[in-house]
Amino acid sequence: MKVVLIDDHALFRVGIRHVLAMSSEFELVGEAATAREGFKLIEATVPDVVIMDISLPGMDGVLATRELKRRAPLARVLIVTAHSEIHDVLDAMSAGAVGYALKSDGPEVLLEALQQVSRGQRYVAPAVASRLSTLEAKRRRATHVLGVLSEREREIFRLAAKCLIAREIATELCIARKTVDTHLNRINHKLGLRNLAELVRLAANLGMIESGRQVEQEPDPAARPTTVER
């Protein structure tokens, strides 16, 4: 399997070179310090796997992965980085990366990640795998729970979950305040909620927002007329 390495740290590239030399399965066919240099290498060498850092000069690894998949859709990307934040993992995977490994893991772990990615199997570093699984489960539950809402109601739910009150949602969506109140009433009824605080708590439990947000108090929309303005 041919491998191209894109990382701006020379010492890390030396380390990866030695790791790949331990395996007869992988051949390092090129190294680059930037995404743009990497694109040229990929066009010239047509690798099976590209090892990519997230923190790259000029174009970060997430954007580079998206562009790489456009240029070379058959190449499989393994992100190898020091960043263990879940949002980085999600961004990388949504951009087209097949694997996400951490620089703090050992050589054997990296080779295992390469083997899985080269077969088209998803790999996630053990240190972040459980958190990612939990978040993905919450997102699947969110899709199920919010499935009873209309598209407009889901839009208003997401804005309300960010602690926007009715008048702010109305301004954001360019609709009448009473229309927002009506939708909020319907959302609360369908989801069994009583107020904005419970809506925000549900959104946090579904992994849509961070927990612990402060909710600005506003008169209960249930107390207002529910007629939609035309």
CATH number of the domain enclosing 92: 3.40.50.2300
For residue 136, tell me if it sits in a domain: no
Nearest-angstrom CA–CA distance, 29 and 171: 55
The answer to the question of residue 60 being in a domain is: yes
Mean pLDDT is highest, among 88-92, 103-107, 113-117, for 113-117
pLDDT band with cut points at 50, 70 and 90 for residue 208: confident
Rounded Cα distance, 226 and 177, in Å: 11
Helix (H) or strand (E) holding 160: helix 151-161
Asked whether residue 230 carries a pLDDT value surpassing 70, the answer given is no
Q: Has residue 124 got a pLDDT over 80?
A: yes
Residues 119 and 8 in one domain: yes
**Residue at which a domain ends, from 130, 158, 189:** 130
Angle formed by the axes of helices 166-173 and 151-161, nearest 10°: 130
Task: For residue 150, tell me if it sits in a domain.
Answer: yes
Q: Which domain holds residue 196?
A: 141-223
Domain end position, chosen among 70, 95, 130: 130
* Domain endpoint, select from 130, 162, 187: 130
How many Cβ atoms sit within 10 Å of the Cβ of residue 120? 8
Residue 119: alpha-carbon gap to chain centroid:
22
Query: Are 159 and 110 in the same domain?
Result: no
Structure tokens at 4: 């191209």
**What is the mean pLDDT of the segment spanning 101-119?**
92
Whether the per-residue pLDDT at 184 is higher than 80: the answer is yes
Q: What confidence tier does 191 reach under pLDDT thresholds 50, 70, 90?
A: confident
Specify if 58 maps to a domain.
yes
Asked whether residue 78 falls in the same domain as residue 118, the answer is yes
* Residues 84, 44 share a domain: yes
Instruction: State whether 123 and 160 are in the same domain.
Output: no
Q: What is the pLDDT of residues 49-72, one digit of tens each?
A: 999 999 999 999 999 999 999 999
| Residue 226 to residue 213: CA distance in whole angstroms | 28
Asked if 106 and 152 sit in the same domain, the reply is: no
Same domain, 121 and 12: yes
Q: Do 117 and 78 form a contact (C-beta atoms < 8 A)?
A: yes
Mean pLDDT of the chain: 86
**Same-domain status, 116 and 205:** no
pLDDT per position as a tens digit, 14-54: 999 999 988 889 999 999 999 999 999 999 999 999 999 99
- Residues 71 and 161 both lie in one domain: no
Alpha-carbon distance of 60 to 95, in angstroms, equals: 12
* Better-predicted residue by pLDDT, 225 or 6: 6
pLDDT band of residue 213 (cuts 50, 70, 90) is very low
* pLDDT attached to residue 223: 45
Calculate mean pLDDT across residues 85-98.
88
**Does a structural domain hold residue 228?**
no
Q: How many domains does the chain have?
A: 2
| Residue 125 maps to a domain | yes
Token readout for 97 is 């990366």
- Tell me whether residue 36 is in a domain: yes
Residues 38 and 95 in one domain: yes
- Same domain, residue pair 164 and 106: no
